[in-house]
Chains A and B, each alone.
Chain A
Amino acid sequence: MKRVELMNVSKTYDKKTEVISNINVMIEPGEFFVLVGPSGCGKSTMLRMIAGLEEITGGILRIGEKEANHLPPSKRDISMVFQNYALYPHLSVMENIVFGLHVKKIPKLERKTRCKDVAAMLGLSEYLNRKPRELSGGQRQRVALARAIVNEAPICLMDEPLSNLDAKLRAHMRSEIRQIQRRLGITMIYVTHDQVEAMTMGDRIMILHDGKIQQVGKPIDIYNHPANPFVATFIGSPPMNIAEGVMKRLQSEILVGDECEIKIPVEDSRLLQTEQVLVGIRPEHIKVASKETSHENRMVVEAINVEILGNETIFSFKIGSHEWMAKWNGQWHLHIGDQIPIQMDYESLCLFDRKTNERIKSATDIENNILDKEVFL
């Protein structure tokens, strides 16, 4: 189990514009590390640089204690799973799995036992003599996985391995990959564009955008304390609602989208220096206004779309020019055009500086945040 360290790593194709710049991160041994970002943010390129399939044009890559910038892929102690699995169509499942062992001239008997063990672990034992085209998508995915772990490399790289599967199978494979990684204790670097995969699988995640690191941390910390509006809207489903806000220090309130005013505690309004801010709030923090709600915090919005997802209801409404969404527990039989009284509290707001995009304040009032298993009596 080895660590992977990137120091000031950057990549440029034409020696002018950097597609990836200033990547500094230490991936610990045995960690499940997820690289997540929208298409074209450079996450696959970064993975391929770690694998040695792309040249590193700046900075240092260390695998274990060794500098690995100029090592060929086969000397980096890695295995890799590709997005389209890269199975050899002319070889049977067994030949596919032992291909790498064959290259490394591992004795035939050991090849066979290792292949059998891995196949049993992934439930492929019955398919060893089939060709890849005779397998379903999920089975092919397992073969690709088997091929990666049969090498017993201490580091495993995965490039969007689940994106070709249907939603149900994806959820299943998510937990399966996670369990295998835990059992083998390998260091996993996993690339995905799906924030759900990142949230559910990663020990830590790195969010990339335009080739730059936006934030690195534990999934739940990133969810609670997003570093900038991009992270706030990228992580979470539905995403965090964002709108321009203006700080009015005299009235100690924030004007959101020219129509909605939210009171700020006086001591905070003194601390907040910037006037031009971005106001964000998670959909689940928008509450229905009750009779106890003070008049100032209460506002009425018009529903423009309603989705009932079994046990929760999501409806959207307009704030200024933005469409916001609110998520409520339970089944709310709302109709489009209904006037809905809601309340938003200052405690659940996230504030960002509009110029620097830096976070000024994150939501302090996070509900249902259970610490240290205190509910289990």
Chain B
Amino acid sequence: MKGSSSLHAKQSIWKKSLNARTALLYLFPSILLFSVFVFYPMFRTIYLSFFLTDQHGSAALFVGLENYAYLLESQAFRNSIKATVLFVLYTVPAGVILALFLALIANEKLKGIGFFRTIYSSSMGISVAASSVVWLFLFHPSVGMFNRLLTLVHLPEVQWLLDPDWALLSVSISTIWLNTGFSFLILLGGLQNIDGYLYESAKIDGAGYWYQLRRITIPMLSPTLFFIITISLINAFQSFGQIDILTKGGPSQATNLIVYSIYREAFVNYQFGTASAQAVFLFLCILIVTILQFKFGERKVHYQ
């Protein structure tokens, strides 16, 4: 009697967990992929940030929080943080406003508007490396288009990528251009989701374009704008490719953004410990900014 009842209990646990087991089976492929490519590297990074490493990147000596203490005291790292913050401030607002402007004009029902929509979103289809090479030519001090244009209108030439005062701005311009395509496409999609009857109703009430933009378009677009701002922020914090090709962090560390600094620390100086500590620091920064954004930005978002 006793045996059969415990058998019964065992069976029922096996049966009760049927749904959970099915769910796990479905989740297995993504759990596997995430573990290999996301979770393991992440925990490995955190682990390494507490160690000094040898040349092969394996942990050699446990140092606790010393890597972090070293970073916070380091002048170069503080410079990196400053450059990154400036870079985010240059690229995110300007990029979002530009994309919003392009999306608004491309949302008009005109003949041949499909052509402009394709053009405006085309930068999404170009790789960071390829476009950076193009920008490298545009910024070239003697044969670059920008300096040619400046000499045409008799203005002094600018050392776009070589002048420490200009380099970060130049990199920001190319980044804005690079990100516009994606932001434009998402914002255009958001605009087209807004019910056209709302505008017709506003038209009958006599609302002008700017009034409609302020009281209908922007509030209705706010979930999309919020998404784009979040994504752009994270992207800006993580920019690497254009830095590597355009300036290599120079001149005089003016464009040495955190991700580039991590790369240099790990693969040029072979200091995997401090590089990992920087990576963890960056992760925390992005996390905090995103949390703050959700906390304060989302209040102004109207979900349907």
Q: Which residues of A contact B (CB under 8 A)?
A: 51-53, 72-75, 78-80, 82, 84, 86, 88-90, 99-100, 103-104, 133, 147, 151
Query: Which residues of chain A are within 8 angstroms of B215 by Cβ–Cβ distance?
Result: 88, 99
Cross-chain contact B205 with A104 (CB below 8 angstroms): yes
Is B220 in contact with A89, judged by CB distance below 8 angstroms? yes
Residues B220 and A73 in contact, CB atoms below 8 Å apart = no
User: Could you give 14 example pairs across A and B, Cβ below 8 Å?
Assistant: A51-B204, A53-B200, A72-B203, A72-B206, A73-B206, A82-B200, A86-B200, A88-B216, A89-B304, A90-B219, A99-B215, A103-B202, A103-B206, A103-B211
B234-276 to A contact mask, C-beta < 8 Å, 1/0: 0000000000000000000000000000000000000000000
**B206 and A74 form a contact (CB under 8 A):** yes
A86, B205: Cβ atoms closer than 8 Å: no
Chain B 265-304, CB-CB to A under 8 Å as 1, else 0, gives 0000000000000000000000000000000000000101
- Establish whether residues B206 and A100, one from each chain, have CB atoms under 8 Å apart when the complex forms: yes
Given A89-B302, A90-B302, 17 extra CB contacts under 8 A: A53-B204, A72-B206, A73-B203, A73-B206, A75-B206, A79-B204, A80-B201, A84-B195, A84-B197, A86-B197, A86-B198, A89-B220, A99-B202, A103-B206, A103-B211, A104-B205, A151-B205
| Dominant secondary structure at the B interface | helix
Residue of B198, B201, B205 with highest tally of chain A CB at under 10 A: B201
- Among A74, A88, A89, A133, point to the contact of B204 (Cβ < 8 A): A74
Q: Which of B201, B207, B302 contacts A86 (CB 8 A)?
A: B201
CB contacts (< 8 Å) of B195 on chain A: these are 84, 86
Interface 1/0 per residue, B198-233 and A, CB below 8 Å: 101111111100010001100110100000000000
- What are the nearest 4 A-B pairs in CB distance? A74-B206, A100-B205, A90-B302, A86-B197
Distance in angstroms from A77 CB to nearest chain B CB is 10
A86–B203 alpha-carbon span in the complex (Å):
12
Bound-state Cα–Cα, A80 to B215, Å: 19
Which residues in window 151-207 of B have CB below 8 A to A? 195, 197-198, 200-207
Residue of B nearest to A82 (CB): B197
Q: How far is the CA of A147 from the CA of B198 in the complex (A)?
A: 13
Complex Cα gap A89–B197 (Å): 12
